Amino acid sequence: MNQVTSRESEADLPGEAALPGALPEALRAELVAFRRDLHMHPELGNQEFRTTAALKARLELAGLQPRVLDTGTGLICDIGDLDGAGPMLALRADIDALPIPDTKTECAYRSTVPDRAHACGHDVHTSVVLGAGLVLAQLHREGRLPRPVRLIFQPAEEVLPGGAPDAIESGVLEGVGRIIGVHCDPRVDAGRIGLRHGAITSACDRLEVALDGPGGHTARPHLTTDLVTAAARVATDVPALVARRTDARSGLAVTWGRIESGHACNVIPNHAELSGTVRCLDLAAWRAAPDLVHAAIDEIANLYRAKSEINYIRGVPPVVNDPAVTGLLRAAMTARRGVHSIEDTEQSLGGEDFSWYLEHVPGAMARLGVRTPGERVPRDLHQGDFDADESAITVGVELFTAAALLDAEPLLGVEPLLGAEPLLDTGV
> At residue 144, does pLDDT exceed 80?
yes
- In the DSSP assignment, the letter for residue 335 is H
- Per-residue pLDDT averaged across 311-339, rounded? 96
DSSP-derived pairing of the beta strands 203-212 and 193-195: unpaired
Question: Sorting pLDDT into bands at 50, 70 and 90, what band is 391?
Answer: very high
**pLDDT value, residue 409:** 63
Does residue 9 carry a pLDDT above 50? no
Kindly compute the dihedral angle of the four CA atoms of residues 276, 282, 288, 291, in this order, to the nearest 10 degrees: -20
d(CA 202, CA 358): 13
Q: Please say whether the beta carbons of 259 and 274 come within 8 A.
A: yes
Question: Cis omega (within 30 of 0) on the bond before 161?
Answer: yes
Three-class DSSP category at 316: strand
Report the DSSP beta bridge partners of residue 313.
206
CA distance 300 to 219: 23
Is 14 or 86 the better-scoring residue by pLDDT?
86
User: What is the pTM for the complete model shown?
Assistant: 0.84
Q: What is the Cα–Cα distance from 280 to 303, expressed in whole angstroms?
A: 27
Question: Of the candidates 105, 7, 113, which has an alpha carbon nearest to the alpha carbon of residue 387?
Answer: 105
Measuring CA to CA, which residue among 87, 76, 194 is closest to residue 133?
Answer: 76
Burial of 127 (C-beta count, 10 Å sphere; 0-12/13-18/19+): buried
Q: Does residue 369 contact residue 124 with C-beta atoms inside 8 Å?
A: no
DSSP conformational letter for 245: T
Return the higher-pLDDT residue of 54 and 17. 54
Give the strand order in the sheet containing 193-195: 67-68, 75-79, 149-154, 88-94, 176-189, 363-371, 193-195, 342-344
Q: How confident is residue 14, by pLDDT bands cut at 50, 70 and 90? A: very low
